[in-house]
Chain A
Amino acid sequence: MEEIETFKNFSHDLHQSLRNFKHFLSNFVTNLKSFLLKSNHVHSMFIAYNEFFKCEKILQLLGCTFLPTYLEIDLSLRKFHYKIACIGLLTNAIHGHISFVISGNALLRGDKNYVFMFLENLSVTGIFMTVLVKAFLLLFKHKNHLQIIIERIEQYFPKSGTDQVVFKTDKYLKLIKTFYFVLVVHYSEVLLQFCLIPFLHKFWGWYFSNDVQWEPILSLIYPFDQQQPIIYCMIYLLNFWLLMVLAFISSATDLLFASMTNVLSMEFDNLAQIISGIDWDDDDNHEEAEEKAIEKLKILINVHNDLCDIAQNLNNIFSPLLLINMVASICSLCIFAFLAASKVSNFFLIKYSAAFVGVFLQIYIHCYFGEQLTNSSNGVADGVYNSAWYKASPKFRKMAMMIMKRAQREQKIRAWKFANVNLNFFYWIVTTAHSYYSFLSGVYTH
């Protein structure tokens, strides 16, 4: 009997401790999640419009501001920095072109040693050209237009705490914050790798008593010998500064695009939600309720028009850039994959796989937010269908039909008339880059 008693007690204790352990584990996981994502459990905390545009801080380093609250800061020195940065990028892009032509010529004449230099030059030139075009177009030519767009978007941003709870604004904020985090961390990691690898390589060579030369960060063709210490230091610092500028401009403009598109799709979702809430009780005065509903619908049509117009303007600004970006990205992806898999040295593998992931992330951000905008603008049609149109007169129904027809013509971000930037496009880019990669590895099989 006692054995049975002790056994029962033992199993009871075991169950209890297992339950405690499960409880402890779930607590631990929730705490860890909230720590990593820094989410606020208090939902009634008000989210300011500026929170969606944290990329401002990076842009301020280059003397650009888009939000009105930051206009008081003195930016003349930073604007000068921006001009110097643009000139630096331009000269480096031209140098990259010249270098690419020379190494291409040497390669075509049959000298196989120039393969890696040629490919590196091609990818570097492509990336520098993209970033130069972005810096020029977005931060200089279209700055006012972007400012106007950001102001227009702000009009429809939910401004009270209760509204933000109803429209789940924090969900969108969390989304953009994860992208910020990932992109900024990765870019700084890539920068660090590119700049530390020469030292590591030299150290490796010294440790194993091989004679290893000082490697430059960006292997372009220079007319003078790079191994002399002073020249090497100067070129190293120059390349380091250029890469930093490149990382800033690239990440800031991509995050600006992501933020604007994110807030715009949030507003389309809000519109859909408001329209689907148009309803009235059956025992209300039918005509009065319908009159009110029609008046509300007229205002919402104006809002819909405005949002579609903003999306069009956004598309017009970003679409040429996106085409150049995607073309350069396809080249860079296949070249980085080829260089990383080429077994030349371990440092190539580390460097170029990090750069590969960087380019990958960049196109993913564009495609993800383009798809989000398309889906949100389509959702307005669903919102109309979810309203109480069946209770209403033909007048209301005709208006509802017009809205649905317009909403089903989605707001797309295009890569300059060629393709819609969405996740299908991302898939196409990756598969095209893969086919070019297999072509390259087929041609150069050593």
Chain B
Amino acid sequence: MQVQQPKYTGLVADLLPNIRIMQAIGHFIFRYITGPILIRKLYSSVTLVLFLFQFVCILINLGANTDEVSELTANTITALFFTHCITKFIYVALNAEGVYRTMGIWNQSNTHPLFAESDARYHSIALSKMRRLLFLVTLTTCMIAVFWTTLTFFGDSTKLWKDKVANETIVVDIPRLMIKSWYPWNSMSGTFYYISLAFQLYYILFSMLQANLSDVLFCSWVLFCCEQLQHLKGIMRPLMELSATLDTYRPNSAALFRSISAGSKSELILNDEMENEKNSNYDMNISAIYSTKADWGAQYRAPTTLQNFNGMNGSNPNGLTKKQELMVRSAIKYWVERHKHVVRLVSAIGDTYGLALLLHMLTSTIMLTLLAYQATKIDGITVFALGVIGYLLYALAQIFLFCIFGNRLIEESSSVMEAAYSCHWYDGSEEAKTFVQIVCQQCQKAMTISGAKFFTVSLDLFASVLGACVTYFMVLVQLK
């Protein structure tokens, strides 16, 4: 029985590795697969039950050790840490429809034969960046799990216990495990110790991967939007050149429509490197492969005769045929439609993932406050100090990850205006000039991702979190 591998398009095809790993570690994502769904549902449910069991064990341990303040703080931090993971897990499960909808927005995108090459180029840049991000985050998470496990075997595995009878604090032995947790079996030694160890290792690795990979999904979406905006900025200049042929005499407009053989350098894209002001003569590369979704068809293949000034074509000074004129006007339409598509995608991302970011920030704020308190009790380079610093760096790194991508989106979307200004808009047609004006007006307001309207995801958020953390630390040290 041959199972036809379905062809995925758009964002799903780009993010397929990410989706596959997420499905493998138990997220409730049941589309984009071949084969029986029931087994996968069973696997995800079992994963959910196991994670909830371990989380409840941690909470029971927290409840049982509330007398001693340092134990209480440490257990609360651990509980909050794993709250992230559970929250992300349940959020994706409940909001799977939103995820599918966001993935599906880019299934059908418009194309234009003149700009298809630039589109493909930026698409491949986005793809490689997404793959690299996924690889780095997965690798870092695995390394953190290994580091945590290794750290467990150093130092004393004890806890402080307040003896109510004698009213003093004594040191009690506990099993040498990664997380301090209650179990219904005795895990001090023997077989049950190894079972607990293996279970905790599985729990740590899979929880962290779940939380981080859903963040990576969000960041990949934002990355894709940024690269689309780069593409739009890059085709602004050829667009202006093209529209200038409509009503200004351009001596070499033939070059704009001629298809060049493969091997010539396409200068559709403006480089960001330092180079001097380019002169306006350059050739365009028209891809010979037209997208099937395009409504241009074969009628726009390169015409060879253009410079025809017999006055046959009415008001057009460059002697463009009707079809070429239509092609020029459609280029502007392509630009605007593509921009609106990106805006739709960004708002869908905000709607889907904004609440998850809000919950993340709430949990992180409380955890960072408690970590600031723990940090005041560091008295040397011990296992305790390394643990506190590790938690701190991990929490800040998680926030930094999505803040930096949110910031990049804001910067890219508000710099479209600069790209519009830097092409020779003053030589364009009246249509092009008003187009540039309206684009500039709209792009002054940057596209932002907000955490359910409470805050915008940008580096200002990260800086304020960092500042708050330092302030709490300073206040707590003075109170000590």
B168-176, B331-339, B376-384 - the one binding chain A: B376-384
Total cross-chain contacts (CB, 8 A):
65
Interface string of B219-261 (1 = CB under 8 A from A): 0000000000000000000000000000000000000000000
> Across the interface, do B274 and A301 meet the contact criterion of CB distance under 8 Å?
no
Fill in one digit per residue for A173-193: 1 if any B CB lies within 8 Å of its CB, else 0. 000000000000000000000
A148 adjacent to chain B (CB < 8 Å): yes
CA distance A442 to B426 in the complex (A): 62
Known A108-B380, A302-B277; contact A398-B437, beta-carbon cutoff 8 A: yes
The answer to whether A305 touches B379 (Cβ under 8 A) is no
Which of B385, B421, B478 contacts A443, CB < 8 Å?
B478
Task: Name the A residues within 8 Å of B381 (CB-CB).
Answer: 101, 105, 108
Q: Which of A22-30, A81-89, A221-229, A402-410 lies at the interface with chain B?
A: A402-410
| A83-110 vs B, Cβ < 8 Å mask (1 yes, 0 no) | 0000000000000000001000100111
Q: Do residues B477 and A443 form an inter-chain contact, with CB atoms below 8 A?
A: yes
Q: Given the complex, which residues of A lie within 8 Å of B274, measured CB to CB?
A: 145, 148-149, 313
A401, B378: Cα distance in complex, Å: 60
Contact of A309 among B411, B422, B478 (CB under 8 A): B422
Chain B 400-411 per-residue mask, 1 if CB under 8 angstroms from chain A, else 0:
000000010001
Return the contact of B418 from the options A398, A406, A417, A442 (Cβ within 8 A): A406
- Cα of A298 to Cα of B440 in the assembled complex, Å: 18
* Interface size class, chain A: 20 to 34
Contacts of B474 in A (CB 8 A): 435-436, 439
Q: Contact check: which of A302, A409, A418, A442 meets B463 at CB < 8 Å?
A: A418
Q: Closest residue to B408 on the A side, CB-wise?
A: A417
Bound together, the chains give a CA A406 to CA B433 distance in angstroms of 14
Does B459 sit within 8 A of A, measured CB to CB? yes
Q: How large is the interface on B (under 10, 10 to 19, 20 to 34, 35 or more residues)?
A: 20 to 34
* CB atoms of A301 and B426 under 8 A apart: yes
- Nearest to A403 among chain B residues (CB) is B421
Chain A residue with Cβ nearest B458: A417
A308 x B478 contact (CB < 8 A): no
- Beta-carbon contact of A409 and B417 below 8 Å: yes
Beta-carbon contacts under 8 Å, B381-421 to A: 381, 385, 407, 411, 417-418, 421
Closest chain B CB from A409 CB (angstroms): 7
User: Contact at A305–B277, with CB atoms within 8 Å?
Assistant: yes
Q: Report the minimum CB–CB distance from B220 to chain A (whole Å).
A: 20
Assess the B407–A417 pair: CB atoms within 8 A. yes
Answer yes or no: A291 CB below 8 A from chain B CBs. Answer: no
**Could you say which residues of chain A place their CB within 8 Å of the CB of B477?**
439, 443
Minimal Cβ-Cβ distance residue in A for B466: A418
Q: Could you tell me if A402 and B379 are in contact, using CB atoms closer than 8 angstroms?
A: no
The residue that B276 contacts in the complex, of A152, A297, A308, with Cβ under 8 A, is: A152
Nearest-neighbour CB distance to chain B for A445, whole angstroms, equals: 10
Query: B286 at interface (Cβ–Cβ under 8 A)?
Result: no
- The answer, yes or no, to whether B425 is at the interface (CB within 8 Å) is yes
Complex Cα gap A101–B459 (Å): 30
Asked if residues A406 and B436 are in contact (CB atoms below 8 Å), the reply is no
A398 engages B407 (CB within 8 Å): no
Contact A108 B378 (CB under 8 A): yes
Query: What residues on A are CB-neighbors of B422 within 8 Å?
Result: 305, 308-309
Check A406–B459 contact: CB distance below 8 A.
Answer: no
- A399: CB under 8 A from chain B? yes
Contact of A406 among B385, B421, B441 (CB under 8 A): B421
Contacts of B478 in A (CB 8 A): 439, 442-443
* Structural contact, B418 and A308, CB atoms closer than 8 A: yes
Nearest chain B CB to A291 CB, angstrom units: 13
Closest to B470 in A: A436
Residues of chain A whose beta carbon lies under 8 Å from any beta carbon of chain B: 101, 105, 108-110, 145, 148-149, 152, 297-298, 301-302, 305-306, 308-309, 313, 398-399, 401-402, 405-406, 409, 417-419, 435-436, 439, 442-443
Q: What are some 24 contacts across the A-B interface (CB < 8 A)?
A: A108-B381, A109-B379, A145-B274, A152-B276, A298-B426, A301-B426, A305-B421, A306-B277, A308-B418, A309-B422, A313-B274, A401-B437, A402-B425, A402-B426, A402-B436, A402-B440, A405-B440, A405-B444, A406-B418, A409-B417, A417-B407, A436-B474, A442-B478, A443-B478
